[in-house]
Amino acid sequence: MAAVPSVIPLLRASVMNYEIVAQAPHHLPKIDCLLDRTFGPDRHGKTVYRLREQAEAIPELSKVALDEDGTLLASLRFWPISIEGAAAKLLGPLTVEPSIQGKGVGRALVRNGLALGKAHGYRLCVVVGEPEYYQPYGFIPAVPRGLVLPGPVDPHRFQVLEMTPGALDGVSGLIGPGVPLAGSKGGLAERVG
C-alpha cells in the first residue's frame, strides 16, 4: 500500500488555517447539523442514502476539516459499494461550512479522499454531484458507461471516476451496497450521514 499520511498537517490558506483529520464519533452530531444546513433535512430521501443505510462509512476515508480551535469546518465520507460484484466507493456527502465555502477546503478533502482510496486499493469511485465540481478530478458521466443506481437520480449528476486506467472495462450494471476492501479496520459506530 502506498504511503499516504492519514493526517494532513495544518494547511495555511490566505485567510484561514485548518487541518484534515480522521473523523471521530464526537464529530457526528456536528456533521449532521452541518449537513442539515447545507443539504436540508430531506437529504435522506435521496437514492444514495439507500446505499449508505446498508453499509458503514469507510473509516480510513472518513475525514473532517477542523480549524485551529478544533471547530468542525467540513466533512467528507466514502461508502463501500459494489457494481455487479466489482468493489467501488461512493463519494459523499461532502459538506463545507457556508461561511468558508470557496476557500479550497472541499477540494482538499476530495483530493485527500481520492488519494487515500487509491492507496487502499479502490479502483472506482462513484458520486452524485455537480459535474462542474467533479469533472476536474476526472469524473465522467456514469449512465453512458452502463451504471445504474437503485432508485431515481439526475443522470447529469451521476458520475464515475476510474482511479486506475481501465478500471471500468467490463464493469457495468446495478450498484448495490458493498463491503470495505481488505485492510480496512471495519466500520465506525455510525450508519448514515
Shortest reach from residue 70's CB to ligand COA, in Å: 19
50 binds ligand COA, rule: CB under 6 A? no
64 binds ligand COA, rule: CB under 6 A? no
Q: Which three cell numbers stand for residue 98?
A: 457556508
DSSP assignment of 131-163 equals: HHHHGGGT-EESGGGTEE-SS---TTTEEEEES
Please tell me the distance from the alpha carbon of residue 72 to that of residue 34, in angstroms, as a whole number.
9
Please tell me the distance from the alpha carbon of residue 147 to that of residue 170, in angstroms, as a whole number.
11
133 binds ligand COA, rule: CB under 6 A? yes
Backbone angles phi, psi at 142, to 5 degrees: -90, -30
The residues near 151 (Cβ < 8 Å, ≥ 6 apart) are 47, 50
| Nearer of residues 93 and 171 to ligand COA, judged by Cβ | 93
Candidate ranges 99-107, 117-125, 158-166, 180-188; the one touching ligand COA (CB under 6 A):
99-107
Candidate ranges 8-16, 40-48, 127-135, 141-149; the one touching ligand COA (CB under 6 A):
127-135
Q: Which of 54, 101, 172, 184 binds ligand COA (CB under 6 A)?
A: 101
Q: Which of 81, 105, 116, 161 binds ligand COA (CB under 6 A)?
A: 105
Please tell me the distance from the alpha carbon of residue 62 to that of residue 26, in angstroms, as a whole number.
13
In DSSP terms, 114 is beta-bridged to: none
Q: Which three cell numbers stand for residue 93?
A: 456527502
Shortest reach from residue 34's CB to ligand COA, in Å: 8
Binding mask 68-97 for ligand COA (x = CB under 6 A): --------------------------xxx-
Candidate ranges 49-57, 104-112, 114-122, 148-156; the one touching ligand COA (CB under 6 A):
104-112
